[in-house]
Structure formats: C-alpha cells, structure tokens
Structure 1
C-alpha cells in the first residue's frame, strides 16, 4: 500500500488528508505512523482525556508540535488541529463538551488587540476532527463524522462579531484586574473556561493582588454544535428548524454589541400593556398557554420560532417574571433536579473539580464531577423580561441580561450545596437548607412526591425529587440593580 502523505504547509492539503477519516476510524485509515499497541486498547473515559487527540495528531498526521501558547500545530500552514466528540439525539449530532482553544495568558492579553492576539494567531484556521462518542468503546474504533477546516474569516459575519466581542469582554476584565471574576456566563460563543487539574489552584494576574483560576479560551458546546451541524449539512439552512436568529443583519450589532442590540428591540414596548404590545405587533398569541409571556417576548425580538438561535448557541435562557400589585413575585427560580445517590449524583460532586473538555490533556483525568448547580450558574446567562400588574393589567416594565456574580456563587450557593451534600450523605434530610438559610439559595422539592417524581436516597428510601432554587427576593434585587 502506498504511504499516505500531505503537505504540512497547505491548509487544503491538511483538510483533504483529514477527510480520509470521515466515515471510518483511525484504526482502519492508514496514517503516517503506526499506532502503538498501548493506544489500541484505550477506551472512552475520564482516564483517557487527550488520548484521541494524540491518536490523530501523532500517529495519523505524524506531528509532534507540543503545546505552544501562540503557535498553531501546523505552524507553516497556520492551522490548529482540534478533536472532539459528538453525541446523537433526536435533533441530530451535538457537541458533547466545549472545545478548548488554548490558555488565556493573563500577562499578555492585557496588551493585545483581537486581530493580533495570541488567540487569533493560534486559532484563525481550525482543522476540526469530530468523532461519535460511544461509552466504553475503543478510541481507535470511534467513527469519524466530520473533518473540516474552519476559517474564522469565512464564518457568518455575526458570528465573527460576537466572538470578537467575547474576546474583548474577557480581555477587559483581565485589564481591570478582574481575572478572578471571569465566568463562562460573561460571554456568548467564546468563553473563559476553567483549566487544570484542581479548581482550587490560583495563579497571579496583572493589576490585582487577588489570584485567579487558570482559564482557557473555549467555544461553548452550544456554539460548537451549531458549527458542526452547519458543516454536516452545508445545503441546509443556517439555523435549526425550530430556531430563528434575532439578529439577521450583522451591522445591527456594530460597536454596541449583541446584548445592547437585543435590548434595543424592547425600547418601543417598555411600559406598554400586553394588549398594547399585541396591537403594535398585530399578533394575538394564546393567553391561556403556559408560555404566553415568553412567546410575546420572542415576538418583540422578531422571533416567531420556539427558540432564539443565538440564545441556544450561547446558553442564554429567557425567563419571564410577573410582579404582582403587592410588588412581589410569587415564584422562586428553580433549576434541574439532582440525584441523591449513584452515578452523576450530588454525592459524586466536588466543588473544586474542573469541567475540562475531554481532549484536554491537562484535565482532571478522574471521575470527580463539578456540581450541576455550579456549572449551570457559571455557564448560564439569563434574559429577564419583567411584567408588572397595574390595576389588573400587565405591563412590560424591564428587560435585562443577567448572570449570577461569581462572588455570590461562592459566598451563597457553595454553602447551600455543601450542606445539602452532607445532609444527604448522613441521612439527615430535615437539615437540608431551606428558604431561610441565606435568603439567596435553598433546596426544596421539585415534584409531587409520587411515582416518577421520587428518587432513591442512601438512607431515607424513596424521596421526592429536589433541586436548588434562587430566592425570588434575591432575583428581584438583582434585576433592580442591573442596567
């Protein structure tokens, strides 16, 4: 058999060589080097983080570039090689995790611009190899679903603008001595993800004596999913069938940014009643429907689909809040239920674990799980649309983007999570932190207590599902002080 080859100075040659893998596996597709026997028995799992990337990089492409901070793997071609895995659901393939794009160099980013940054020098051209994830299967036998060269300059203009805005937001915080306050929820598509083997480790940052976590640039899983689906179905429409973009004209973002462009859509509708909003929009959605207010908010944004495409990619959740005539909301804000025991339960969680991507060789390499509530609050951003009752009529009074401050997550959510974990482990459910625990976060039931609404516990038999909640007074106070 002829020895395969490619030019490591040509992006198109690198891409063509990668596409030989599509529909096949690294075992079946001959690369430049033989795969050592010790790699042939490695299977999917936390203990093999970085192994698939090694298979593709060292044995298929036959390169050993090391991990140079600002240099792509194929230096002469300007191409960075990236591997990741996909899961398949009813909506098609989705990225299993975020895609790490190199460490954030705190001391360097403060003097960089986006166009000349280390990030762009390394990631302007990405050779993306996507495999199908099958639990416990051998990595050499993982089916390759996609091999595509992603050129930043050929992404949709709105994507380019949002990624640039995200980079600038991260750089701005570091320049202001706030690297310790970085969070995945700060940004839309490109995030500052935690990095390393231990989340309790801190490193120095410029312009502040407060140490910060190590972080890396990463594409969020939602955005990576949109990219993968776009390349898997190049003839399909840009967005999913049940999604619609709120920004169809990239010039609308301009210098003001994505969020300000969205908020400006609401300015003509603030302080109008829902009747007046419907008249102005010439729509009449079903007011008895559970999601009526959310539907009305999407229509104001110009979105008639069930989902906002940019929100799905960025992990932004739309929440509507009704303030009654006594000035209070009736509902606390709930999050997904947690398991009491077993795999992926609250008992297997570690607050200082790192939620690194599976191709990150610098990841934890063990089965510690970052708490679900912590990951949700650090990654999720919300668009709150506030309606207030006035003489029996509802008015739209405020619309704001919000994410929970890092200091509040550490100060108020962490102790609630820790006490909940301790109580479940000991069987002392009576001491689970309730609404009076700290008036910010608490644990309460999330179900009716029958049938499928119960889960097994270590010491207390079947118990109604529970979840973490944010206090309604806390949410109202946050909205009131958010511009």
Structure 2
C-alpha cells in the first residue's frame, strides 16, 4: 500500500534511510538497464510509481523527488584527497512557452513544482555495475530558504520569460542565466515547440539548475566543503538584477586605474605571483587567498553560476600573445565521450563546461607606458561557435586519439631528450585566416612520452610514430604529453575589442 507523506519532514526522514543502500538491493523489479534507473529507484523508495504527471511527486507533502549523480575528479585537493563535482545539471520541469508568457513568478508552475525538492545524491562510477551504486546522502533543498540564491533564481526565471515575451525563445541558451537555466530537452529533431510571439519554432527546453550550482550544493551540504568566499557581503539586492550587473557595479569604479595604483591601494607587491589575477579579485572585495588564474576559484557566486574569471593583457598596439587554456583532458576518457547534447549524462565534458560557463574577461593594457585596467566583459560562447569550429576541433581530436595519434620526432640540440616531438592535433597556426577558434597543445611545461610519466597520459590506441628514437623508455608506444584545449588568443581579443586602444 502506498504510504502517504503529509509533511516535508516525513519525506526527509524516509530519505535518510536510503543512505548507503545499493541500487540492486532496492530496485525491486526495476530494470537495472534503465537509463532512468536512479530516479526510478529513488521514487520507488517512497512508494511513488512512475508517471508523467506535471504536479509534485509527493503532492500531499508538497515535495518533488530528484536523484542526482556526482563523480570523483581525476585531480586531487591540496591535501591529496579526492575531489568531487556534480556530474550533470538537475533537470526540472518542461517549459511551456505559451503558459510561461502569462505567468507571474510567485504563482508560476516552476515555483509550485520545485519549491521543495528531496535530492538523492549518488556516486556515478564508470565501469562498475549500476547494481553496486548507492545513494551517498540526501538533502531537502528548499529553493526559498537561501534569500541570495532565491533572488538570483527569480531573476533568471524573468530572463528566460523575457526571451519568450520578445519572441526569441529560439535564442535561449544555458549560459544566458546564472543559476537557473533553460536546457535542451528531448531527442534531436523532435524537440521543437511553438512560441506565442513568433512563428519561428524553438527547441524544447526545461528549467534546470546548472551543473555548477549542483556542484556547490554537493560540496556545501554533502562533502562539508564550506571554504568559499562571497562577493555579496550583505543581502542580495534584486533591484540590481543579475550577478553580472552586481559584479559590474563593483568593477566599474576601478576602470582607468593603473596597475601600480591598484597595487598600492590593495597592498599587493609588484613582484607577487599572478598579481593581475590577485588585483582582479581584490577589486571585487575578495581576499588575497583568491586568485583568478586557477581552474578552481573559491567564490560562491562564481562557482554556482559557472562564471570563469580570466585576466587578459594587451600591449600598446592592442595585441595579446597568450591563448586561453582549459583543464587537461584524459585521452581514454575523451575517447569514450560524445558531443551529443540530447542526453546530458552522455555529453562530452568540454561541451558541458562551455554550455554551463560564462567567462568574465578582466582586461589590462599598456597605454603610454603605464598598464591600466581597461574594463571587463562577460562572454557566453555562441551556439554557432560551439557547434562549428569548437565541435570540429573536438571531434578531430577524438578521432585521432581513437585511431592513433601521429607523432614525429625531430632532432634538436636544445631539447633534454635530444628530440622535439610534433603531433597532428589542430594547431594555432600562423595564418589568422586559416585558424580555428581553438586548438590543442600540451598543458604540461615539459614534454613526456614515457610510461606513467609525471606529465604523460595513456592513449587508447597505439601511437603512429615517424622517426621514432631508439630509446623506448623515453618514447613509448601508448603514452604522450598531457594535452588541453585552448581558445586562440585572437578569439579572446575579438570578444573585448571595444575595451582596448589600438
């Protein structure tokens, strides 16, 4: 007999009992091959049978049920321990564009359905039978409990509604908002819906909490990692709108200041490592512990919104020489991924990252002999770029990894090993007209082609060698220097062109 839950407390108490339970022990007839296994098992735990109803899962208690995965990262934390992140966004309800256009946030279907969610966090473990997976912990997530987060989510909802009201639902993207996103939903080619103020069909989308927001939720509530700083020291003022607007108001007063003047103002030594990254953080009221030159920026609002701050430096002629790097990828992991965005759990890591992320370019330039803070720019990668050059470079890289990367050794008197090794990944290239938006090159400072080397990674297929040296210990069959994707320096320059003097 189905149990009736009358309060959210009753639901949460039941949820706590699922901790440590193996999927195989509680599936109770549910197919372990089901793509929605985790969600089905979690709902079944509460006696909820699978259906497609638009109302809350546990109507009497006003609680929605959601199972959500997290994964262990390859990198370690400072103490050598494991690091974790959410594996995917949390998909909520399908967006009905016609209904959304006529709703008020306070009485919206979104808020009615998702104001209280019981979240079951389970660890995704590749290569291990799903029957062995288990629920790590549960969280009763009340969307209105954190006033700052709620204000940002409310603003995001209005941003999504604005696209619909202006007849541009087809232009919606996940990076257009901070915490609450409009993600694509449904199989490719069958996921279009009508919108009320345009004849142009729009992709079917669902409200979702970003993967970056879910990662923060995981670390704060499950892993106990609360070592983050906040830009908003007091209550978030919704009248200032989005996080972009709030950050903008904090950075604008410093535009035109020289680096030397900023160093003096914030007591930052001119010889400090990555001083521009430190100064950028200080302009936002953050401590010297926060630097914007790492892949893990411990700023709560940035972590939740997927905002990636990057300092960019230009010379007096408006040239920037440095391309923008991303975290190194693992060859075997990359070879198993797909660019396909119809199913979040199967989407390539870099594709997910670029969909989720919003870049904050903080621009410095030499002007008349002094280096100045010239301004800032928020930037979302356009869909045309994401599924154009960027996808082409990603697919080219995956294909070469799967079928064998070509390496050619060239004798060199300056290299420690006596050789420089060239590969056939997409390069930056000398001619701007022939460049893609991005390229692939080593992330490590030293070349390494040895087995289990400090800067090498194992390939899934044998290397296709040309002029391979005889020393097989230094030049192995399946290991090469760790690589990363990079945005070309001129692509970054294009996004901030109006901020620099040429």
Match of 2:57 among 65, 70, 73: 73
Q: List per-residue Cα deviations over 1:101-128 (Å, max 9, x = no partner).
A: 1222233222222222221111011112
2:361 is matched with which residue? 384
Contact 1:441 1:468 in 2 (8 A): no
Q: Are 2:480 and 1:480 aligned?
A: no
Does the C-alpha gap of structure 1 residues 244 and 116 become closer, same or farther in structure 2, counting only changes over 3 Å? Answer: same
1:85 is matched with which residue? 69
Match of 1:102 among 70, 93, 97: 93
Q: Aligned partners of 1:466, 1:439: CA distance in 2, in Å?
A: 19
1:50 is matched with which residue? 36
2:311 is matched with which residue? 320
Contact 2:428 2:436 in 1 (8 A): no
Contact 1:322 1:387 in 2 (8 A): yes
1:365 is matched with which residue? none
Q: Aligned partners of 2:457, 2:119: CA distance in 1, in Å?
A: 42
Cα RMSD, aligned residues only: 3.2
Report 1:224-263 matches (<5 A). Answer: 224-232=214-222, 240-241=226-227, 243-263=228-248
Q: List per-residue Cα deviations over 1:52-79 (Å, max 9, x = no partner).
A: 2212213x2112261223x111123221
Q: Aligned partners of 2:168, 2:251: CA distance in 1, in Å?
A: 31
Q: Aligned partners of 1:105, 1:224: CA distance in 2, in Å?
A: 24
Contact 1:124 1:151 in 2 (8 A): yes
Contact 2:212 2:303 in 1 (8 A): yes
2:464 is matched with which residue? 460
2:293 is matched with which residue? none
Q: Which range is displaced more, 140-149 or 321-330? A: 140-149
Q: Pick 1 or 2: higher relative contact order, CA cutoff 8 A, min separation 6.
A: 1
Q: Aligned partners of 1:244, 1:100: CA distance in 2, in Å?
A: 27
Shift of 1:318: 1.0
1:470 is matched with which residue? 487
TM-score (norm 1): 0.81
Shift of 1:185: 1.7
Contact 1:450 1:464 in 2 (8 A): yes
Q: Aligned partners of 1:136, 1:431: CA distance in 2, in Å?
A: 28
Shift of 1:434: 4.3
2:351 is matched with which residue? 374
Q: Aligned partners of 2:185, 2:237: CA distance in 1, in Å?
A: 34
Does the C-alpha gap of structure 1 residues 137 and 418 become closer, same or farther in structure 2, counting only changes over 3 Å? Answer: closer
Q: Aligned partners of 2:110, 2:499: CA distance in 1, in Å?
A: 31
1:366 is matched with which residue? none
SS at match of 1:217: strand
Does the C-alpha gap of structure 1 residues 434 and 371 become closer, same or farther in structure 2, counting only changes over 3 Å? Answer: farther
Q: Are 2:194 and 1:205 aligned?
A: yes
2:172 is matched with which residue? 182
Q: List per-residue Cα deviations over 1:239-273 (Å, max 9, x = no partner).
A: 722x2000122244434322111111112211101
Match of 2:389 among 390, 406, 412: 412
Report 1:158-169 matches (<5 A). Answer: 158-169=148-159
Q: Aligned partners of 2:350, 2:186: CA distance in 1, in Å?
A: 20
Match of 1:397 among 374, 381, 385: 374
Q: Aligned partners of 1:301, 1:310: CA distance in 2, in Å?
A: 12
1:115 is matched with which residue? 106
SS at match of 1:212: strand
SS at match of 1:115: helix
Shift of 1:329: 0.6
SS at match of 2:334: coil
Contact 1:181 1:406 in 2 (8 A): no
Q: Aligned partners of 2:200, 2:173: CA distance in 1, in Å?
A: 16
Contact 1:6 1:13 in 2 (8 A): no
Shift of 1:440: 4.8
Contact 2:156 2:242 in 1 (8 A): no
Contact 2:212 2:356 in 1 (8 A): no
2:115 is matched with which residue? 124
Q: Aligned partners of 2:14, 2:181: CA distance in 1, in Å?
A: 30
Report 1:334-353 matches (<5 A). Answer: 334-338=325-329, 342-345=332-335, 348-353=336-341
SS at match of 2:492: helix
Q: Aligned partners of 1:74, 1:475: CA distance in 2, in Å?
A: 48
Q: List per-residue Cα deviations over 1:182-218 (Å, max 9, x = no partner).
A: 22222222222232244x5441331344443332222
1:361 is matched with which residue? none
Q: Aligned partners of 2:349, 2:447: CA distance in 1, in Å?
A: 22
Q: Are 2:439 and 1:443 aligned?
A: yes
Unaligned residue ranges in structure 1 (runs of 5+): 358-368
Contact 2:3 2:47 in 1 (8 A): no
SS at match of 1:153: coil
Q: Are 2:256 and 1:277 aligned?
A: no
Shift of 1:319: 0.3
